[in-house]
Amino acid sequence: MKPEDIIELQPPKLGPMENIFVPAILAGLGTTIMHLFKSVGGNTRTMQYPEERREDMPVLEGGMDIQKYRGVHRLNRDEQGRVKCVACYMCATACPAHCIHIVGDAAPWADREKYPIKFDIDELRCIYCGMCEEACPVDAIELTYEYDIVGLTRQEMVFDKEKLLAMYDKTAARKPM
């Protein structure tokens, strides 16, 4: 770095009114009180989760964009219902959290060369960045709109191939491939 690259930033000079902070505090308090009165009439932004869910609301009213949300992964199926993944390890390579564990093997089908015999995603380790989705050359891995997953053990939160395929079956209707 050269000296001319360094830009020194000075904080803006404060006037006397700004220096005592009271007007700014009052203005902020005003916003709070305004919202307090607004909510009394039932006009509230609070959602009654889990009775109300964002995925059921229109996007323009603060609902979830189901096609774009980055929740739990799924493994897509091809037209014949087989796992679409070809075990190329691109997602595992792109994954910044190293949460995808694949074991590939020769496919039992004549028209396919390779498929995953094991495909585990550690949903606890995952940071839901969507890099796997972007790296996939065959659009086999996708993130769904599901976010409220629970498990009693850490092991339960490592989703295997069957669980990820089941997630596809569950979400395919609302989020087509």
Partner 1 sequence: MPTMEVDGQMVSWEGKKTILQACNDANVPIPHYCYHAGLSIVASCRICLVEMESPDPKDPAKMVKLPKLTPSCQTPAVDRMKVTSKSPKAVANQKAVMEFLLINHPLDCPVCDQAGECYLQDYSFNYGRAESRFEEDKIKNPKKDIGLHVLLYSDRCILCTRCVRFTREISGSGELAVFGRGAREEIDVFPGKTVDNPLSANVIDICPVGALLDKDFLFSQRVWFLKSAASISPISSGGENIFIHHNHGRIYRIKPRFNADVNKWWISDEARYTWQFVHENRLHACHRMQYGSFVETSWERAYAQTTEDLQKAVRDNGPGSTAAVLSPFASTEEMFLHAKFARSIDPQAWLAVTPPRIDGQDQVFKNPATGAVTFTIRAEKAPNRRGAEKITAHFGGNACALEELAEKIKNKKVMAVLASADPLPGMDKPVLAAIGAAPTLIALTSRHTGLYEKAGLSMPTCTWAEKAGVYENCDGRIQAFQQAIDPLENCRSDGRIFWDLLAHEGTHSAAAVRHEMAAAGLADYANVAIPQVEKPLEVMEFSAL
The residues binding partner 1 (CB under 8 A) are 86-90, 93, 104-106, 113-114, 137-138
* Strand, helix or coil for residue 140: coil
Strands of the sheet with 100-106, listed across from one edge: 100-106, 114-122, 158-159
38 or 114, CB closer to partner 1?
114
Q: Which is nearer to partner 1, 115 or 145 (CB)?
A: 115
Report whether 83 contacts 90 (CB < 8 A).
no
Q: What is the closest distance, in whole angstroms, from the C-beta atom of residue 120 to partner 1 in the complex? A: 15
Residue 105 beta carbon to partner 1: minimum distance, rounded to whole angstroms: 6
Q: How many whole angstroms separate alpha carbon 34 and alpha carbon 125?
A: 41
Q: Which is nearer to partner 1, 17 or 106 (CB)?
A: 106
Of residues 71 and 116, the one with the C-beta less far from partner 1: 116
> Residues 111, 146: contact at Cβ < 8 Å?
no
CB of 104 to partner 1, least distance (A): 5
Bridge partners, 105 (sequence order): 115
Smallest separation, CB 134 to partner 1 (Å):
14
Q: Which DSSP category does 72 fall into?
A: S
CB 83 within 8 A of CB 103: no
Q: Minimum Å distance from CB 133 to partner 1?
A: 15
The residue to which tokens 């305004």 are assigned: 34
Residue closer to partner 1, measured from CB, 16 or 137: 137
